[in-house]
Chains A and B, each alone.
Chain A
Amino acid sequence: MKFWRFLLSMPVLLAGGYVLVSMLWIVFSDRLVLWFAGGDLARVAAMQTWKGLGFVVATGVVIFMILLAWKRHQARATMRIRQVNKQRLEDHDRIEQELNAFVHAVSHDLRAPLRGLAGFSDALREEYGEALDDKARHYLNRIRDAALDMSAFIEGLLHLSKLTRRPLQPVEIDMIALVHEVMDDIRRRAPREGVEVNIGVLPVVTGDREMLHAALDALLDNAWKFTGKMERACIECDASDTGGRVVYSLRDNGVGFDMRFAEQAFRPFQRMHPRDEYPGLGLGLVTAERVIARHRGWIRIESVPDEGTLVQFALGGRS
């Protein structure tokens, strides 16, 4: 199939046709010359010279015309590609603009009604709290909590979009220092004793500091959170060089999850555990995945319920 397609391709047809036509021309025209010249060898030689010149001119013209046609064809194809690219760029810009307008609207307009909900349910409780019974106050709390939850979701989405949509600002990053920094943040946020944290040798990497900080924060915060109920919590972070690519591994001995639901783990707001047991928005892995994708890397997660979770990721370039 491939062979036939090659045989029928334009360069082969052109070259083959040229050879065939030329050979036929030489054979027949030589006979014609002999017949015209009627045996006069001097005339044969002169006619052969003219015939040769004519052939060169004729093939020159044909080659010129074919090249011209080919060039026009190429120019048209390039033009088409340019048009398609231009169209795509325009589409991209338009979508980008729409997305910005959308984010702006969400940022401005979606929070105000929630402030009203939370604020007036608080005002009602403050001013009329004594006139209400426990159940009514409970309902008011529910209204306020729901408004605050939604506000937190909006906040999370805005933060995610802000973080992952801005241009990458790659710098050299000392990963060991960054992991320590993130762990310190997490310790301050959710202080807890008796957690063993082992940070191995991590090579320097080129990447966007703020984004990678957020990704590591999301992953380590998960490890911290989901080891919360373990007696001897242990979090390990190391790196290995596999085929020229540095693979980072984050291991914890936390509650883990059933791998049947692994696919869902990277969806926004998807949770593996009830929110009252393990708080959070359900944006951690999504954040990490987006950041790593922006760095042209990959991430995968393996988990065994009640034994622990292993997250591995690699970033696009080695430094």
Chain B
Amino acid sequence: MNTSQVILLVEDNPSDEELTLRALKSYNVANNVVVVHDGVEALEYMFGEGKYAGRDTSEQPHLVLLDLKLPKIGGLGVLERMRADPRTRLVPVVVLTSSSQDDDIVSSYELGANSYVRKPVSFEEFTEAVRQLGVYWLLVNEPPPR
């Protein structure tokens, strides 16, 4: 698998972060995972601001795994700003969250999420979901031209 592809994981819960990383790594889906812990940090990474000032913003992640419930700016806010900016407009975003509330799902798709996945509580199912996501979005799916 092409390990140069970057996944941006936006996740504030340390348990979920570790479990997601473990799942991604156990299937060698990606070795290149950037983890940010809130909405502001996610936007700073993508737009090369604040902590990530000077980062080459022409290099955008190949996939963003976005939690919805995040400190400061929530997942939906991040999504909205990503879709409004030409640099991140086309980056595939998978909402990976605990909630399966209809309004969360609808808002995510309305704001331009490419996929919505509910994190299963069972670790087996969770690992399988993350593996499938990695395989699909990094291997099967044809990404937008850069």
State the A residues within 8 Å of B (CB): 103-104, 107-109, 111-116, 118-120, 122-123, 144, 147-148, 151, 158, 162
B99 touches A115 (CB 8 A): no
Which 8 A-B pairs give the minimum distances between C-beta atoms? A116-B15, A151-B121, A122-B123, A119-B123, A119-B19, A107-B99, A111-B98, A108-B69
Interface residues of chain B, those whose CB is within 8 Å of chain A, are 13, 15-16, 19, 22, 68-69, 97-102, 119-124, 126
Residues of A near B119 (CB, < 8 A) are: 111, 115
A102 to chain B, nearest CB (A): 12
A112, B122: Cβ atoms under 8 Å? no
Tell whether A115 pairs with B121 under 8 Å between CB atoms, given A103-B101, A104-B101, A107-B101. yes
User: 20 A–B contact pairs at CB < 8 A?
Assistant: A103-B101, A107-B99, A107-B101, A108-B69, A108-B98, A109-B69, A112-B16, A112-B98, A115-B15, A115-B16, A115-B98, A116-B13, A116-B16, A118-B122, A118-B123, A119-B123, A122-B124, A123-B19, A144-B123, A151-B122
A128 to chain B, nearest CB (A): 14
Residue pair A112, B68 in contact (C-beta under 8 Å)? no
Q: How far is the CA of A108 from the CA of B16 in the complex (A)?
A: 12
Given A111-B121, A118-B123, decide whether A123 and B101 contact each other with a Cβ distance below 8 A: no
Chain A CB within 10 A, most for which of B16, B68, B99, B119: B99
Q: Once the chains are docked, how many angstroms separate the CA of A162 from the CA of B15?
A: 28
Given contacts A111-B119, A111-B121, contact A119 B101 (CB under 8 A): no
Taking the closest CB of chain A, its distance from the CB of B97, in whole angstroms, is 7
Q: Which chain A positions have C-beta within 8 A of B98? A: 107-109, 111-112, 115
Q: How far is the CB of B58 from chain A (nearest CB, A)?
A: 34
User: How many angstroms between the C-alpha atoms of A112 and B15 in the bound complex?
Assistant: 8
Q: Enumerate chain B residues within 8 angstroms of A112, measured Cβ to Cβ.
A: 13, 15-16, 98
Q: Is the CB of B123 within 8 A of A108?
A: no
Contact of B126 among A104, A115, A144 (CB under 8 A): A115
Tell me whether A116 and B99 are in contact in the complex, defined as CB-CB below 8 angstroms, given that A111-B119, A122-B123 are known contacts.
Answer: no
Q: How far is the CB of A272 from chain B (nearest CB, A)?
A: 27
Given A111-B121, A122-B123, 18 further pairs, Cβ under 8 A: A103-B101, A104-B99, A107-B100, A107-B101, A111-B119, A112-B16, A112-B98, A115-B15, A115-B126, A118-B122, A118-B123, A119-B123, A119-B126, A120-B15, A144-B123, A151-B121, A162-B101, A162-B102
In the assembled complex, the CB of B49 is this many whole angstroms from the nearest CB of chain A, namely 28
- The CA of A36 and the CA of B136, in the complex, are separated in Å by 115
Contacts of B68 in A (CB 8 A): 108
Contact B121 A148 (CB under 8 A): yes
Shortest Cβ distance from B119 into A: residue: A115
Check B122–A148 contact: CB distance below 8 A.
Answer: yes
B121 touching A147, Cβ below 8 Å: yes
Q: How far is the CB of B95 from chain A (nearest CB, A)?
A: 12
Q: Which interface residue of A114, A116, A119 has the most chain B CB atoms within 10 A?
A: A119
Interfacial chain A residues near B124, Cβ < 8 Å: 122
Cα of A112 to Cα of B101 in the assembled complex, Å: 15
Nearest B residue to A111 via CB reads: B98
Q: How far is the CA of A119 from the CA of B16 in the complex (A)?
A: 9
> Which residues of chain B have C-beta atoms less than 8 A from A151's C-beta?
121-122
State in angstroms the CA–CA spacing of A114 and B16 once bound together: 10
Q: Is the CB of A123 within 8 A of B123?
A: yes
Assembled-state Cα–Cα distance A176/B16 (Å): 46
A111, A114, A158, most chain B CB atoms within 10 A: A111
Cα A192 to Cα B113 with chains together (Å): 42
